[in-house]
């Protein structure tokens, strides 16, 4: 920077009068170069395939939508999915049921680590196949230790279970005191009355603060545009659960609410070949989960010391 007096031509205060032919040419040359450089800089934007439509861009927050507006939104989502995948889906907005609070119990004595739950979940919930997103991570643990740092994530033997190990599937623990909900700057994730922590994919800004906050590494981010083969799309969808996500938003396990709020079991439970997975209404004293939590001598809430109070319990056959 200098305060030497600049040449007369570009004198700031005299520029209006002193516009000569030469300075005009020079200025236009600079301006043209600048605009060309800017255009070159912006050029990757041309590669964007589907810009959000105006309705999508302006869409209100889930909890502020009236039933009529919601109906329109669901209709729009059905249209968008049909356009992209060639299949008209059935998108609902199932509400939590009165007198129901879900609880998941997982029997660590039985799980053999076959990862069938992982793949059933991917198929049911329309997770991206490329890049790959999975909600359930099965840890191969050393017998006698609960130290997750010693766990193996990418075990791949001919046959499971392997001797000397037990297996612990981890997915969203649907905490009663969820750190992810607390940190979200725009309330895009919250706890429903039936205990399920949900995400409004249309409201999430993609800051990934919830991903940093989760002590169970349960949240996944769409780093790229998700891709699902057309023939694999599950057309039974819900707004808060398995409708296809967009690039740049979070997702995670939601206890298959498109199924469970309609009275079925989660996909991971149905596929489990060992019966390790139990799911039900904890407010119902006769439910299977009530029986387990009343009668099993040991059950574990993962990282209980953090005070997150998961609705997901691990237990043993004792």
Q: Which of residues 225-264 bind another protein (CB under 8 A)?
A: 225, 246-249
170 binds another protein (CB under 8 A): yes
Selected binder of another protein within 166, 172, 173, 220 (CB under 8 A) = 220
209 binds another protein (CB under 8 A): yes
215 binds another protein (CB under 8 A): yes
Stretch that binds another protein, among 103-111, 116-124, 198-206, 283-291 (CB under 8 A): 198-206
Looking at beta carbons only, is 43 or 286 nearer to another protein?
43
* Cβ 180 to another protein shortest distance, Å: 10
Q: Which residues pair with 104 in a beta bridge?
A: 279, 312
Looking at beta carbons only, is 220 or 277 nearer to another protein?
220
* Cβ 209 to another protein shortest distance, Å: 5
Helix (H) or strand (E) holding 3: none
44-83: contacts with another protein (CB under 8 A): 44-45, 47-48, 52, 57, 61, 64
Q: Are 227 and 213 in contact (CB under 8 A)?
A: no
* Cβ 207 to another protein shortest distance, Å: 6
* Cβ 59 to another protein shortest distance, Å: 10
Looking at beta carbons only, is 97 or 152 nearer to another protein?
152
270-299: contacts with another protein (CB under 8 A): none
Q: Is the peptide bond before 65 cis (omega within 30 degrees of 0)?
A: no
121-140: contacts with another protein (CB under 8 A): 131, 137, 139
Q: Is the peptide bond before 183 cis (omega within 30 degrees of 0)?
A: no
* Cβ 98 to another protein shortest distance, Å: 26
307 binds another protein (CB under 8 A): yes
3-class state of residue 223 by DSSP: coil
204 binds another protein (CB under 8 A): yes
Radius of gyration of the chain (CA): 27
Looking at beta carbons only, is 17 or 231 nearer to another protein?
17
CA distance 91 to 73: 10
CA distance 88 to 230: 11
Instruction: Give the pair of three-digit tokens for residue 62.
Output: 């889930």
26 binds another protein (CB under 8 A): no
**Which positions ≥6 away from 142 have C-beta within 8 Å?**
150, 151, 164, 165
Helix (H) or strand (E) holding 254: none
Q: Interior CA angle at 201 toward 92 and 59, to 5°?
A: 80
CB atoms within 10 A of CB 119: 16
Instruction: Give the pair of three-digit tokens for residue 281.
Output: 């209404």
185 binds another protein (CB under 8 A): yes
């Amino acid at each position: 920077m200098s305060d030497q007096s600049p040449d007369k031509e570009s004198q700031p205060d005299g520029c209006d009068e002193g516009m000569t032919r030469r300075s005009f040419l020079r200025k236009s040359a600079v301006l043209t170069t600048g605009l060309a450089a800017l255009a070159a800089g912006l050029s990757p934007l041309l590669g964007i395939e589907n810009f959000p439509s105006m309705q999508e861009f302006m869409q209100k927050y889930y909890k502020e939508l009236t039933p009529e507006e919601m109906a329109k939104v669901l209709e729009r989502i059905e249209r968008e999915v049909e356009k992209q995948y060639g299949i008209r889906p059935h998108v609902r907005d199932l509400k939590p049921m009165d007198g129901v609070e879900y609880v998941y119990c997982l029997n660590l004595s039985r799980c053999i680590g076959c990862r069938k739950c992982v793949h059933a979940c991917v198929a049911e919930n329309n997770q991206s196949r490329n890049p790959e997103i999975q909600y359930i991570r099965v840890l191969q643990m050393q017998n006698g230790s609960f130290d997750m740092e010693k766990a193996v994530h990418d075990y791949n033997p001919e046959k499971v279970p392997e001797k000397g190990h037990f297996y612990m599937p981890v997915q969203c623990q649907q905490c009663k005191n969820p750190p992810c909900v607390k940190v979200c700057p725009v309330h895009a994730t919250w706890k429903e009355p039936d205990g399920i922590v949900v995400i409004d994919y249309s409201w999430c800004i993609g800051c990934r603060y919830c991903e940093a906050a989760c002590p169970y590494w349960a949240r996944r981010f769409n780093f790229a545009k998700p891709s699902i083969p057309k023939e694999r799309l599950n057309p039974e969808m819900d707004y808060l659960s398995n409708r296809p996500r967009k690039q740049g938003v979070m997702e995670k396990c939601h206890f298959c609410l498109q199924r469970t709020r309609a009275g079925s079991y989660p996909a991971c439970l149905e596929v489990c070949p060992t019966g390790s997975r139990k799911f039900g209404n904890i407010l119902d004293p006769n439910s299977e989960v009530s029986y387990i939590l009343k009668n099993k001598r040991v059950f574990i809430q993962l990282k209980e010391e953090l005070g997150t109070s998961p609705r997901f319990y691990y237990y043993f056959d004792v």
